[in-house]
Structure formats: C-alpha cells, structure tokens
Amino acid sequence: MSAADEVLATARENPYGIEVLGVEPIPPELRHGGPRSLFTLWFGANTQFATLSVGALSTAVFGLDLVPAILAIVLGTLISSVLVGVLSTRGPATGLPQLIQTRGPFGWFGNLPAVVSTAVGGIGWYVVDTTLGIFILRDLLDIGFTPSLLIMVVAQLIVPLIGYRLIHAMEKWLATGLVCVFAVVTAYATGQVSLTTATHPAGSVVGAFLLTVSVTGARGLGWAAYASDYSRYLPAGTSSRRVFAAAAGGSIVSGVWIGGLGAALGTVAAVADPSSMVRQFLPSIFGTVVLVSLLLSTLASTVLDLHSGSMAALAAGVRIPRWASVVLVCLIGSVLAWWAGQHDFVSTFQNFLLITSYWLAPWAAVTVTAFFRRGRTVATAVELSDRRRRFGWGLPATVLGVLASIPFMSQSVYTGPIAAAHPDIAGLGHVIGCTVAVLAYIAVTALDQERVPA
C-alpha cells in the first residue's frame, strides 16, 4: 500500500477525527454537508475585527464622509465576494484545494509563485488577526504583549489542527452569536455616529473613494486563494448556483455590514489602537462584551489562515503531514506577529492589504477566466499532478498584470510614477492589473490551443 493509500484508509476509518487528508482529492464516501455551511463559514470569517478596522480606515484615515464610504465598501466587498463565490464552485467538482486546481492554467512549476504568495498571504493575515487579538487581550486582561501573544497562539492552533469539520462547526456557532452582538452594536451606533467626518481626504474625494474600494477589495481577495478549500468536501453533484450563492452571500452580508459599521465608528472614534476604538464608542460593560465577541471572531479568521496556509505549503510539494504544516505556519506567523506589534499598526495594515492585492487581483482574474474558458469540464487530479506540464499561460499573464499596475502602486514602501503624479487615480491600479492579465491570458490561449486552460 502506498503512502497516499494509507492516508485515505486512515481518513475512511476515522472521518470525525483529526483531518489527515492534505492536498489529495476527497473520495466520494467522505463527501458530506450542503452549501448552507459555506454561508455561515464565510459570514463568520468576515465578521471580524479586520473587517471593522478596514471600514474605519475609510472615514477616520482616508477622510470620506459616511455615505460615500459605505458605497465604496459595498463595491469593494461585491468584487471580492463574487470571486470567492465563483472559485468555491470548483471545490465539489474536483475535491481539491484551490492551489492544486490552479496548476491547470499555471502549470505545475508555474503555479509555485501563487503557492508562495498564498502562503505568505495566509501568514500575513494570521499576523494581522493575531495582532488585533493581542490588542483586545491586552485591553481586557491588562497584560503585556508577549503573554497576550502566547494566549492567542494556543487558542488559534487547536481548531485547524483538527481540521475541516471542526472549522465549519465553529464558524456556524460563532456566526449565530456574532449576529446578536453586532445587531445590538449597530442599533447603538445609529444614534451616535455622524454622517460627516472631521478628517479631510489628503487628496480628492474620488481618490479616497478609490482607495477605500481597493483596501476593502484587498481584504476580501485574501480569501479567494482559499475558496475551494472549504467546499471540496461537498458531494460532487452539489448545485454550483447554491454553492456560489452561499459563499458569496455570506461574504457580502458580513463584509458590507461590519465594514459599514466600522466606517460609522470611524466618524467618531480614532483607530490608532483598534481595541480603543470600541472603548471610545461604547459604554464600559457593553464594550467589554463586544471586545470578547471580536476576540472570538478574530479566532474564526485565523483558523482559516492557518488551515489554508498549511495547504499552500503542501501544494508546494513539502512532504510533511497536514498537522505539522499547520504548526509550522503558526510558528512563523507568531514570530512575525511579535515583530508587527512593535510597529505602527494602521500603516503596516494598509501596506499589507495593498501590496498583497497587487498579485492577488490579477491572479484571481486569470483563475476565474480560465474557469469560464474551460467550461463545464474539470481537470482530473492526475492531470493536475503531472509535472511534465511545467508552465501554463496563467503565470506570464498574471506577471504582465502586476507589471501594468506598478506605475499605480501607492504605499509607504513604494509609490509608482503615475500614483505620485496623479494620486487620485492610484486606486485604479488593481483594475488595470486585472484587465491586462485577463486580456493577455485570453489572447495567448486563443493562439495556443494545445494548452487547454483548466
């Protein structure tokens, strides 16, 4: 019996234990569940402090008034959520993680940059969410940064170690509780917030609007590289429309709601220390309840970061058990979280969102384009594991998209020439990057019919 057969045999014998399957296709007898679980998973994953913080940036930092800020948040959330919904539909059809499927348009070796960027993105989001959780713990328990970090590490590691079933169960119960808490917060906020903000945009309102769309979309795009990881256990015949509606719907509802709430809070509270934003706005006792809820919602996000970050390591060909990959990603992320906590959170967070999205946006656009160009046919696990097909056209198309967006890049790390000369249109960099990548992919695959997109 091969090592792969032994793993499958173990999974069949104990389907409710620790998840042993890594990037192997899920066999039919282990498929279970329905699309509804995707709604609660993505709702819970987006009902978190990072979503609230991104929303607050739009008013407290970028200087938008509340109505245009909410419109920008809606637009950015819709763009990223639709991508999550479309990519989720591939899970039941293939039984494979997202990063194994993208070997189709990118090739086995051409897919490695996407694998590396996803691992980096997963670790990066783990750092962001862990740092936010540390702020909350430090505020609630009046303890230092390092003890708070250790508590977060232990709390976050348990669920992804066990795996898929526990992740879905946790997101389901958290989603129910978080609806109740944030419904009360929203009702309380209605009479407290302002339609205008005291902060004025550094440039024009259009520039602030586009920047809000970019950072909101960038937050949601971080999930796109994971989408199929959480739908691949669904039965192969599951309706694609229901999968799309559930995954995209959960992301949209929570993203717009919590992001909009963050924008509202940003009109009356500062975001230099994220946990203090809640303290400034709410009564002491209720503020504590909300902070505890936000801490739990942060855990809902980090377990996905760890689980899918570990999948990225396995997709790169690292030959270790899934649980060991989870521990490795956790250790790397925890060291970086300690470093990030010593620096300005708001600036670091904004730079992280924008820098990672300059690759993610054209990558996701090419992946979705390949999906529609191939149609209803699905590449098999054997085809996707064939190393002889080293490179596909997805990689050069994505690279062209990234290169096209460089002149529009605008962060403290690097500012492109067009962004420097015309800061109001810097937010268009993602649109241009996606457009160039898609057009390049369509053109080259039309000319090279032998490399069928998968």
* pLDDT, tens digit (0-9, with 9 covering 90-100), for 325-359: 888 888 888 888 887 666 666 566 667 767 777 88
CB 86 within 8 A of CB 368: yes
Question: In the structure encoding, which two tokens stand for residue 422, read together?
Answer: 């015309």
| pLDDT bucket at 45, cuts 50 / 70 / 90 | confident
pLDDT value of residue 375 = 59
Average pLDDT over residues 302-308: 83
- Look at residue 69 and give its three-state secondary structure: helix
The answer to whether residues 194 and 268 touch, using CB atoms and an 8 Å cutoff, is yes
Q: For tokens 């909350």, what's the residue? A: 136
Q: What is the pLDDT of residues 371-383, one digit of tens each?
A: 887 655 566 666 7
Whole-angstrom distance, CA of residue 133 vs CA of residue 136 = 5
Pairwise CA distance, residues 124 & 397, whole Å: 25
* Closest to 229 (Cα-Cα) out of 127, 125, 322: 322
Q: What band does 104 get if pLDDT is binned at 50, 70 and 90? A: confident
Q: What's the confidence (pLDDT) of residue 253? A: 94
453 CB-side CA count, 13 A: 23
Task: Write out the two tokens for 124.
Answer: 């990066």
Structure-block tokens of residue 44: 């819970």
The span from the CA of 366 to the CA of 104, in Å, is: 11
The more confidently predicted of residues 285 and 252 is: 252
Evaluate whether 287 touches 184 at the Cβ level (below 8 Å).
Answer: no
* Residue 26 main-chain phi, psi, to 5 deg: -80, 120
Looking at residues 77-94, what average pLDDT do you find?
91
Residue 305: which of 159, 174, 176 has the closest Cα? 159
Give the pLDDT confidence of 213-254 residue by residue, as tens digits: 988 888 888 788 888 889 999 998 899 999 999 999 999 999
User: At 89, phi and psi to the nearest 5?
Assistant: -65, -15
Residue type, 303: V
- Cα separation of 148 and 142, whole Å? 9
- Give pLDDT, residue 14: 56
Q: So what's the pLDDT on residue 245?
A: 96
Distance CA 98, CA 312 (A): 9
Whether 105 has a pLDDT exceeding 50, the answer reads yes
Nearest residue to 251 via CA among 273, 221, 225, 272? 221
Q: Is 63 left (phi over 0), alpha (psi -120 to 50) or beta?
A: left
97-117 mean pLDDT? 86
Residue 47: is its pLDDT beyond 50? Answer: yes
pLDDT per residue as tens digits for the range 177-188 = 888 888 877 887
The DSSP secondary-structure symbol of 57 reads I
Give the pLDDT band (50/70/90) at residue 453. very low
Cβ atoms within 10 Å, residue 385: 15
How far apart (Å, rounded) are the C-alpha atoms in residues 211 and 353? 11
Q: What is the pLDDT of residue 7?
A: 52
Helices 49-56 and 240-266, interaxial angle, to 10°?
50
DSSP string computed for 360-390: HHHHHHHHHHHHHHHTT----HHHHT-TTS-
Percent of the chain whose pLDDT exceeds 70: 84
Please check whether residue 402 is in contact with residue 434, taking contact to mean a CB–CB distance below 8 angstroms.
Answer: no
CB contact at 8 A, 42 and 223? yes
252-262 pLDDT, tens digit each: 999 999 999 88
Query: 10 Å Cβ neighbour count for 115?
Result: 23
Pull the structure tokens for residue 399. Answer: 């690279």
Check if the beta carbon of residue 302 is closer than 8 Å to that of residue 133: yes
Rounded Cα distance between 86 and 296, Å, is 28
pLDDT at 202: 61
Domains of the chain in start order, with CATH, are 33-341 (1.10.4160.10)
Measured distance CA(74)–CA(260) in Å, rounded: 8
Distance CA 269, CA 280 (A): 6
- The structure's pTM equals 0.82
Chain-wide mean pLDDT for the chain?
Answer: 81
Residue 377 CA to residue 453 CA, distance in Å, equals: 10
